[in-house]
Amino acid sequence: MSDITILGSGMAGYGAAYHLTNAGQKPDVYDKNSYYGGHTNSYSYEGGFVFDEGPHISFTKDERMQNILAGFIDNQFERLQASANNYYQGHWIKHPAQCNLHGLPVELITQIILEFSQLTETDMSEIKNYEHWLRASFGDTFAETFPMPYGEKYHTTTASNMSTEWLGPRLYKPDLEEVIQGALTAETKDVHYISNFRYPSKGGFKSFLNKLPDYANLQLDHKLIALDPATQVLTFKNGKTLDYKKVISTIPLTELIPMIKGVPNDVRAAASLLSCTSCVIVNLGINAEELTDAHWTYIYDEDICFTRLSFPSKFSPQNAPDGCSSIQAELYFSDKYKPRTRECDEYIPMVIADLEKIGILKGDETITLKDAKLLPYANIVFDLDRAAALDTVQGYLRDIDIQACGRYGEWAYIWTDESFVSGEKAAETALSSI
């Protein structure tokens, strides 16, 4: 048994449990749901369709993580070369758009290239927000046509209200030669940060967590409602209380802080400033062969309700029945910037209509499955409030010896493998102080 309690059984909780068990302490892992996996959950529908909670893939280049994840599924995975494209006002272009302009209106291409060729070296220390970075990196026309409207659909706030801390490798910066070549021909080299990826052969992305019970004593249906750092007691909604020595939490900070007894007002106020998006995913099962060559598609048009499409049947043939395909549409909202105004199911006909509008559905396919789900936590919003508020919250959690990890514990834009490592690091920190 372990002296360390883990809250949450998603990828970060898995990483923490994996590390602790390998160190000789098999921990108790508490989860509010009746199933484990958290945000990495997958859903199997009658008829043979499998959908994840949003498009999850493993594209880590870390050999250690590749081996760990492969071992969790007994090396039964698909190796896929990533294919992504973009839709803009009736045009389909390769991703990323900045170096794949071929096929767009000549006037638009000309203006983008002219502005790109006139860019001067910018002192990045002078960049104040994401909009400023986009204009300095790509020119005004490209910034206003592609990443700014897409970013507002995806992050639910304007580029001027966002920092650049989240960027990492996500937006490729081509040179002028690449921009010109991509305007003249559709045959360009692949420069997207995801070149290839792995995906479990069966069972959806959650299959990566199938062996979590080997590394943890799972306690499901345990929703935390209070944490008292003075008495070191956890209280759960089902009435159970637990004395703890060390806690690793993957609970979203915006939920965790209000549950902690005696939280200072400034910390509570800081937590209230943290923002993330929620996502309505609309899952469609199609009685037709694959409708696209892409694994996922970015949608720039503001009058199209969804922000991104993915095609789970292309991730693994086991995700759909023989002869069928599947589509998952993502629609983003946030309490702070873009509240949701409809019930989830009301978005299904809107998605279908817009899929027909952009030509993915032709109207003659039979849709055999329609479902919509709300994901309360999708992506962290890196607005201008985040950095200072997060410093305050994380400083307080360190003071009371709570190790917060994962996407919503670190409140960071991290991928699944990074979440696993985040859990490992939290476990190592907790172990070192026992």
Chain mean pLDDT for the chain: 96
What distances in angstroms separate CA 266 from CA 166, 261, 277, one per listed residue? Answer: 25, 14, 23
The whole-number pLDDT of residue 125 equals: 77
Whether the predicted pLDDT of 112 surpasses 80: yes
Q: What is the mean pLDDT of residues 272-284?
A: 98
- The token pair at 303 is 């009058």
Q: What is the mean pLDDT of residues 138-165?
A: 98
The whole-number pLDDT of residue 98 equals: 97
Q: What is the mean pLDDT of residues 94-116?
A: 97
Percent of the chain whose pLDDT exceeds 70 = 100
Q: Categorize the per-residue pLDDT at 192 as very low, low, confident or very high, splitting at 50, 70 and 90.
A: confident
Whether the predicted pLDDT of 395 surpasses 70: yes
Of 383, 339, 380, 378, give the one whose Cα is nearest residue 157. Answer: 383
Q: Where are the domains of the chain?
A: 4-79+201-274+384-432, 96-184, 278-375
Q: Categorize the per-residue pLDDT at 358 as very low, low, confident or very high, splitting at 50, 70 and 90.
A: very high
Question: How many Å apart are CA 116 and CA 109, to the nearest integer?
Answer: 10
Whether the predicted pLDDT of 44 surpasses 90: yes
Question: How many Å apart are CA 347 and CA 354, to the nearest integer?
Answer: 11
The whole-number pLDDT of residue 121 equals: 82
Whether the predicted pLDDT of 42 surpasses 80: yes
Say what the alpha-carbon torsion angle 222, 227, 232, 236 is, to the nearest 10 degrees: -20
The whole-number pLDDT of residue 72 equals: 97
Q: What is the pLDDT of residues 329-344, one digit of tens each?
A: 999 999 999 999 999 9
Q: Categorize the per-residue pLDDT at 1 as very low, low, confident or very high, splitting at 50, 70 and 90.
A: low
Q: What is the pLDDT of residues 114-128, one digit of tens each?
A: 999 999 887 777 899
Residues in the chain, how many? 434
For 347-376, give one letter per residue: b (16+ CB within 10 A) or e.
Answer: bbebbbebbeebebbeeebeebbebbbebe
Q: What is the mean pLDDT of residues 414-431?
A: 97
β 224-228/233-236 pair status: antiparallel
Question: How many Å apart are CA 1 and CA 182, to the nearest integer?
Answer: 58
The whole-number pLDDT of residue 193 equals: 87
259 or 170: which leads in pLDDT: 259
Domains 4-79+201-274+384-432 and 278-375 share a fold: no
Residue 5: half-sphere exposure toward Cβ, Cα within 13 Å: 21
- For residues 12 and 423, is the Cβ–Cβ distance under 8 A? yes
- Report the side by side order of strands in the sheet with 241-243: 224-228, 233-236, 241-243
Q: For the domain with range 4-79+201-274+384-432, which CATH number is right: 3.40.190.120, 3.30.450.20, 3.40.470.10, 3.50.50.60?
A: 3.50.50.60
The whole-number pLDDT of residue 27 equals: 96
- For residues 49 and 321, is the Cβ–Cβ distance under 8 A? yes
Q: For the domain with range 278-375, which CATH number is right: 1.10.3720.10, 3.10.20.30, 3.90.660.10, 1.10.10.10?
A: 3.90.660.10
Question: How many Å apart are CA 418 and CA 46, to the nearest integer?
Answer: 33
The whole-number pLDDT of residue 288 equals: 94
Cis peptide bond upstream of 200, omega within 30: no
Residue in the block written with tokens 């199997």: 44
CB neighbours of residue 391 within 10 Å:
11
β 325-333/308-310 pair status: antiparallel
- For residues 330 and 307, is the Cβ–Cβ distance under 8 A? yes
What is the DSSP secondary structure assignment for residue 300, as one 8-state letter? -
The whole-number pLDDT of residue 229 equals: 97
Q: Mind giving me the DSSP string for 218-284?
A: EE-S--EEEEETTTTEEEETTS-EEE-SEEEE-S-HHHHHHHBTT--HHHHHHHHH--B-EEEEEEE
β 325-333/278-286 pair status: antiparallel
pTM of the model as a whole: 0.95
